[in-house]
Chains A and B, each alone.
Chain A
Amino acid sequence: MKKSVSTPRRLLRSFWLAAPLVLAGHATAHADPSAPALSRGHYLAIAADCAACHTNGHDGAKLAGGYPIASPLGVIYSTNITPSKTYGIGTYTLDQFSRAIRHGVRADGAQLYPAMPYGSYSRLTDEDVAALYDYLMHEVEPVDRPAPKTNLPFPFSIRASLWGWKLLSGVEGTPYVADPAHDAAWNRGKYLVDTLAHCGECHTPRNMLMAPSASAYLAGGDLGSWRAPNITSDATAGIGGWSAQDLQDYLRTGRSTHARAAGPMAEAVEHSFQYLTPADLAAMAAYLKTVPAIAEPGQTAANFSHGGKAAPFDYAAANARRNSSTLKGITQGNVLYENVCASCHQTDGRGSADGYYPSLVGNTTTGQRNPDDLVASILFGVDRTVDGHQILMPGFGPDSLVQPLDDQQVATLANYVLGHFGNAQAAVTAESVATIRAGGPKPAIAQLSEPRVLAVLAIAGLVILGVLALALRFVLKSRRAA
């Protein structure tokens, strides 16, 4: 299968999101035990998933950039981070490199768009920054080819405004210092979760400024079409009911008793987590189990605890429509389910005995209060490669070769699955399917570039933003001085 990489194909839906949802590059490490051991920097680069954005798809030169990240603001192209002296970072000193990945500032002083998750990377230790630098400078082949230039529309074209955003949003932190109240594994887990794997970039919802909301740490975020679930220790809405082994299995393979990884998470597993050591995965699981629980208002049953029972099938009606050549316009969800889904997931929704075809009963995707992951899975399918083996559920959106469904059919189908195998409280409409198909709701800030909005708001808004930022800077400076 040849994936098109010439057009931006993944939407960077929530403004300043990055790596975890746009992973398209091959991970560079292999699980092959006969392969030489990875350097520390190489391993860190996998854990931080650099290649996801900085390698342009399966055919792209390794870490040479050019991967089009379709943000709601426009296409952002990843940069060449090979040690090419002309087009890469070959002339960067360690200090310049550190400023770039921790603070989003290029060697020439220009601000990086926060598609680069420097908020998370700002917590990297000095040793790890140095190891990453060594790896990129000495183990990666220089590619003397420029990555395409990013040209966002005004006002986002003004990179200088980003320093103001950084100050206001407070995304930057300081290098991680171990918490003596916890053991080494917990500390390692927290470091991996918050810094290298940058989980919060997706799983923590964003505030008005599109910065991760500290008060809702890992409580679940919207990623355009997809929903990054609540991964706090809440037993109902989060992963509190998962065993540590469930979590490790899920991270390593994308598959556990309670969930299957799809969409951006499948890519994170494919390109990064499957290559992490068992000790690191165990550390991440141990830490996640201690993340303060945040409940979902109104949710009473755990995502994976719903029962399931198929609806009775009307055979007479099926016989009556024998002369049709299409099921367009069918309003009974179980008819669509039976003919589109049941060949794999089975009439009772419980999948195959070996779990190759997952059960839809007791599955986080169908059990969440928020049905976006279910709708996105139906529209875009599931695609993940682990241990060299590709798992693919085809998509059933308008481009599906297997069976294109329209928005109403997807809604009918999703509601049947939710009502009979998952969370009956959740509901889907044709309109919500259309929104998810189009990449999810646009964040307010993205609408700034639309001409009419721009005309009214842009100049005034920027002035206010600038003044606010200056004021903040003044306050901060005064504090430091004091």
Chain B
Amino acid sequence: MAQETLTADVVIAGAGICGAMLAHKLARNGVSVILLDAGPYRDRDQIVENWRNMPPNNKSQYDYATPYPSVPWAPHTNYFPDNNYLIVKGPDASAYRQGIIKGVGGTTWHWAASSWRYLPNDFRLKSTYGVGRDYALSYDELEAYYYEAECEMGVKGPNGQEIVPSAPRKNPWPMDSMPYGPGDRLFTSIVKPLGYDNTPVPQARNSRPFDGRPQCCGNNNCMPICPIGAMYHGVYSAMKAERHGARIIPNAVVYSIETDAKNTIVAMNYYDPDKGSHRVVAKTFVIAANGIETPKLLLLAANDRNPNGIANSSDQVGRNMMDHPGIGMSFQSAEPVWAGGGSVQMSSITNFRDGPFRSEYAAIQIGYNNTAQNSRAGMKALSMGLVGRKLDEEIRRRTAHGVDIYANHEVLPNPENRLVLSKDHRDALGIPHPEVTYDVGEYVHKSAALSRQHLTRIAQAMGGTEIEMSSFFTPNNHITGGTIMGHDPNDSVVDSWLRTHDHPNLFLATGAAMAASGTVNSTLTMAALSLRAGDAILADLKHG
């Protein structure tokens, strides 16, 4: 195969939300960009069909991976059944079974679109509460980029509503919140007397037509796929980057990174699906391959000058793996609740996002899962051996009364929670699978004891029967920490601009840079950090 060397000002590995938004920003500013993704282009229509034709058992278990076929050259996780792509170990292995999608657009093809800002104290956990680590920047330094990301994505939020605690804003959300469905309304009114404030979640979902896309009509199908494009996916930014001249190359699996005598990055090399190798040369390089694939690639690309991996002189690459260990509870409520009106997540109890208790145990977010219960109800009713009218009635009853709630916990960065390259498992191109060892730690366990009490109180207030609570921690796909940021090159991988301490022209645009997990979805913060990195890259290119 002929060797083709591609050239651009900036090459970005990873066309998910961070890479695509960064590519759009750079391309819009006249920078030539090559955007690589290991996976294929994906079309909404095929994903919709795959979802609709998926067996009901998969649907009832919230299988969001199967509609996105994994490709041999760029496998991603699927647990129905477990394809062993991500190997998890340690006492809380189950809590790191993350769902990720490879392909242009990345994992935001399926997400609940919750687009929170972190609280100012999330950025200074160590200085305020003496635990964990501080970010290398303050909330105030990120505020404008939060807004830039909200405008790019189209975030709706509770404008005009006082919510404590919440992140201070200079501008209103680009769109107003949508009204709750019946489930969120009832849940809010029942928990209020218990002292819980259940408030609207800011989300990257249209409450009015926005950016040529329609408004949400409550298909309640955000995961695994919004069938009408009312929800933001990273693919929109990739498409817009392309309109501004960026070149997108799908099915391009980056596997090596060349460095020169000064340890600046010279080139990246990627495999096509047939393992033909291609070289890409640029002035600036970005890895935006999510919190698992970014550290994996840095370790994989170790070379003579960087024997422990690229950007890894601190030995922090792949360490401090974080997420939000969750506890799920399901039950049948006394009153019909009718989950499923509106989007899959609309509201959240945020009273426990911050407070002095954080010096001792983890902050939490409690939420009501508004996913329609019909698939679960149907599978359960079938398992009861019912037929005919009795079956119909039972499905209807369980669909109306089924309730799913959860508590998610912040987790502290712990270097022992570590991603390494698997020694035993390799993909079709011969690239090792990632392997993560995970222990959520005492900070979480202490908090979880209280969370279980919160959830139980709520279930009782709703007259719950058939109460089931997960005995283990569940993953939330908010993958953070693996290329942690900090001021000190000895104990962190990137600075506040997401520039690696080791390589002046290498940026890591990923949630892996986040130094504290907070309690809420990490997406908006990692998008804002990536846009901020864009300003550093633009300044570099301008000043040579």
A residues in contact (CB < 8 Å) with B: 1, 315, 318-319, 321-328, 335-336, 338-340, 343-344, 356-357, 381, 383, 390-395, 399-404
Instruction: Report which of B53, B210, B227, B243 forms a contact with A1, defined as CB distance below 8 A.
Output: B210
Is A315's CB under 8 angstroms from B53's CB?
yes
Closest B residue to A389 using CB positions: B208
Whether B302 is near chain A, meaning CB under 8 Å from some CB there, is no
Assuming the contacts A324-B46, A344-B217, A401-B229, asked whether A390 and B212 have C-beta atoms less than 8 A apart, the reply is no
Closest B residue to A328 using CB positions: B43
Instruction: Report which of B41, B47, B209 forms a contact with A392, defined as CB distance below 8 A.
Output: B209
Query: Could you count the A-B residue pairs with CB atoms below 8 Å apart for me: how many are there?
Result: 96
Closest CB-CB distance, A181 to chain B, in whole Å?
Answer: 47
Report B74-91 CB contacts with A as 1/0, cut-off 8 Å: 000000000000000000
Is B50's CB under 8 angstroms from A322's CB?
yes
Assuming the contacts A322-B50, A324-B69, A344-B217, asked whether A394 and B43 have C-beta atoms less than 8 A apart, the reply is no
Please measure, in the bound complex, the distance between the C-alpha atom of A400 and the C-alpha atom of B239, giving whole angstroms. 9
Please measure, in the bound complex, the distance between the C-alpha atom of A401 and the C-alpha atom of B241, giving whole angstroms. 12
Closest CB-CB distance, A408 to chain B, in whole Å?
Answer: 14
**A-side contacts of B43, CB under 8 Å:** 325-328, 403
**B-side contacts of A339, CB under 8 Å:** 44-46, 48-49, 52, 227
Assuming the contacts A393-B214, A394-B213, asked whether A403 and B229 have C-beta atoms less than 8 A apart, the reply is yes
Is A325's CB under 8 angstroms from B45's CB?
no
Is B69's CB under 8 angstroms from A390's CB?
no
Q: Which of B44-72 contact A (CB under 8 A)?
A: 44-50, 52-53, 68-69
Please measure, in the bound complex, the distance between the C-alpha atom of A395 and the C-alpha atom of B211, giving whole angstroms. 11
18 contacts between A and B (CB under 8 A): A1-B212, A322-B53, A325-B40, A325-B41, A325-B47, A326-B45, A327-B49, A340-B45, A343-B219, A343-B228, A391-B209, A393-B214, A394-B228, A394-B229, A401-B211, A401-B239, A402-B228, A403-B43
Please measure, in the bound complex, the distance between the C-alpha atom of A392 and the C-alpha atom of B46, giving whole angstroms. 23
Whether B295 is near chain A, meaning CB under 8 Å from some CB there, is no
Whether B187 is near chain A, meaning CB under 8 Å from some CB there, is no
Closest CB-CB distance, A430 to chain B, in whole Å?
Answer: 18
Is A343's CB under 8 angstroms from B227's CB?
yes
Closest CB-CB distance, B239 to chain A, in whole Å?
Answer: 6
Q: What are the 4 closest A-B residue pairs judged by CB atoms, nearest first?
A: A402-B229, A392-B209, A343-B227, A339-B45
Is B239's CB under 8 angstroms from A325's CB?
no
Instruction: Report which of A326, A394, A400 forms a contact with B41, defined as CB distance below 8 A.
Output: A326
Closest A residue to B48 using CB positions: A339
**A-side contacts of B48, CB under 8 Å:** 339, 343
Please measure, in the bound complex, the distance between the C-alpha atom of A399 and the C-alpha atom of B212, giving whole angstroms. 10
Whether B215 is near chain A, meaning CB under 8 Å from some CB there, is yes
Please measure, in the bound complex, the distance between the C-alpha atom of A357 and the C-alpha atom of B211, giving whole angstroms. 19
Closest CB-CB distance, B423 to chain A, in whole Å?
Answer: 29
Assuming the contacts A323-B69, A400-B212, asked whether A338 and B49 have C-beta atoms less than 8 A apart, the reply is yes
Whether B103 is near chain A, meaning CB under 8 Å from some CB there, is yes
Please measure, in the bound complex, the distance between the C-alpha atom of A330 and the C-alpha atom of B280, giving whole angstroms. 34
Is A327's CB under 8 angstroms from B229's CB?
no
**B-side contacts of A324, CB under 8 Å:** 46, 69
Instruction: Report which of B44, B208, B227, B243 forms a contact with A399, defined as CB distance below 8 A.
Output: B243
**B-side contacts of A1, CB under 8 Å:** 209-212
**A-side contacts of B229, CB under 8 Å:** 394, 401-403
Closest CB-CB distance, B72 to chain A, in whole Å?
Answer: 11
Please measure, in the bound complex, the distance between the C-alpha atom of A151 and the C-alpha atom of B227, giving whole angstroms. 45
Please measure, in the bound complex, the distance between the C-alpha atom of A392 and the C-alpha atom of B229, giving whole angstroms. 12
Is A401's CB under 8 angstroms from B236's CB?
yes
**B-side contacts of A318, CB under 8 Å:** 49, 52-53
Instruction: Report which of A383, A390, A393 forms a contact with B208, defined as CB distance below 8 A.
Output: A390
**B-side contacts of A357, CB under 8 Å:** 217
Is A401's CB under 8 angstroms from B46's CB?
no
Q: Which of B196-217 contact A (CB under 8 A)?
A: 208-215, 217
Assuming the contacts A319-B53, A343-B228, asked whether A325 and B211 have C-beta atoms less than 8 A apart, the reply is no
**B-side contacts of A322, CB under 8 Å:** 50, 53, 69
**B-side contacts of A336, CB under 8 Å:** 45
Is B213's CB under 8 angstroms from A401's CB?
yes
**B-side contacts of A356, CB under 8 Å:** 217
Whether B42 is near chain A, meaning CB under 8 Å from some CB there, is yes
**A-side contacts of B227, CB under 8 Å:** 339, 343
Please measure, in the bound complex, the distance between the C-alpha atom of A321 and the C-alpha atom of B53, giving whole angstroms. 11
**A-side contacts of B239, CB under 8 Å:** 401, 404
Please measure, in the bound complex, the distance between the C-alpha atom of A457 and the C-alpha atom of B40, giving whole angstroms. 52
Please measure, in the bound complex, the distance between the C-alpha atom of A326 and the C-alpha atom of B103, giving whole angstroms. 12
Is A326's CB under 8 angstroms from B46's CB?
yes
Closest CB-CB distance, B39 to chain A, in whole Å?
Answer: 8
Closest A residue to B45 using CB positions: A339
Is B53's CB under 8 angstroms from A394's CB?
no
Is A327's CB under 8 angstroms from B243's CB?
no
Please measure, in the bound complex, the distance between the C-alpha atom of A322 and the C-alpha atom of B235, giving whole angstroms. 21
**A-side contacts of B228, CB under 8 Å:** 343-344, 394, 402
Please measure, in the bound complex, the distance between the C-alpha atom of A391 and the C-alpha atom of B215, giving whole angstroms. 9
Instruction: Report which of A325, A335, A394 forms a contact with B212, defined as CB distance below 8 A.
Output: A394
Closest CB-CB distance, A379 to chain B, in whole Å?
Answer: 13
Closest A residue to B103 using CB positions: A325
Q: Which of B19-47 contact A (CB under 8 A)?
A: 40-47
Please measure, in the bound complex, the distance between the C-alpha atom of A124 and the C-alpha atom of B434, giving whole angstroms. 77
Closest CB-CB distance, B68 to chain A, in whole Å?
Answer: 8
Please measure, in the bound complex, the distance between the C-alpha atom of A400 and the C-alpha atom of B242, giving whole angstroms. 13
**B-side contacts of A343, CB under 8 Å:** 48, 219, 227-228
Closest CB-CB distance, A323 to chain B, in whole Å?
Answer: 5
Please measure, in the bound complex, the distance between the C-alpha atom of A326 and the C-alpha atom of B212, giving whole angstroms. 22
Is B45's CB under 8 angstroms from A403's CB?
yes
Closest CB-CB distance, A326 to chain B, in whole Å?
Answer: 4
**B-side contacts of A319, CB under 8 Å:** 53
Please measure, in the bound complex, the distance between the C-alpha atom of A338 and the C-alpha atom of B48, giving whole angstroms. 9
Of residues A326, A344, A383, which shows the largest number of chain B Cβ atoms within 10 Å of its Cβ? A326
Closest CB-CB distance, B234 to chain A, in whole Å?
Answer: 11
**B-side contacts of A335, CB under 8 Å:** 49
**B-side contacts of A394, CB under 8 Å:** 212-214, 228-229
Instruction: Report which of A325, A340, A390, A400 forms a contact with B209, defined as CB distance below 8 A.
Output: A390
Closest CB-CB distance, A245 to chain B, in whole Å?
Answer: 28
Closest A residue to B47 using CB positions: A325
Please measure, in the bound complex, the distance between the C-alpha atom of A400 and the C-alpha atom of B215, giving whole angstroms. 15
16 extra interface residue pairs, beta carbon distance < 8 Å, beyond A343-B48, A394-B229, A403-B45: A1-B211, A318-B49, A324-B46, A324-B69, A326-B43, A326-B45, A327-B45, A327-B46, A339-B44, A343-B219, A390-B208, A393-B214, A394-B213, A401-B211, A401-B213, A401-B240
Closest CB-CB distance, B471 to chain A, in whole Å?
Answer: 34
Closest A residue to B227 using CB positions: A343
Please measure, in the bound complex, the distance between the C-alpha atom of A335 and the C-alpha atom of B208, giving whole angstroms. 28
Is A395's CB under 8 angstroms from B212's CB?
yes
**B-side contacts of A395, CB under 8 Å:** 212
Is A381's CB under 8 angstroms from B69's CB?
no
Q: Which of B169-220 contact A (CB under 8 A)?
A: 208-215, 217, 219
**A-side contacts of B210, CB under 8 Å:** 1
Assuming the contacts A322-B69, A343-B227, asked whether A403 and B49 have C-beta atoms less than 8 A apart, the reply is no
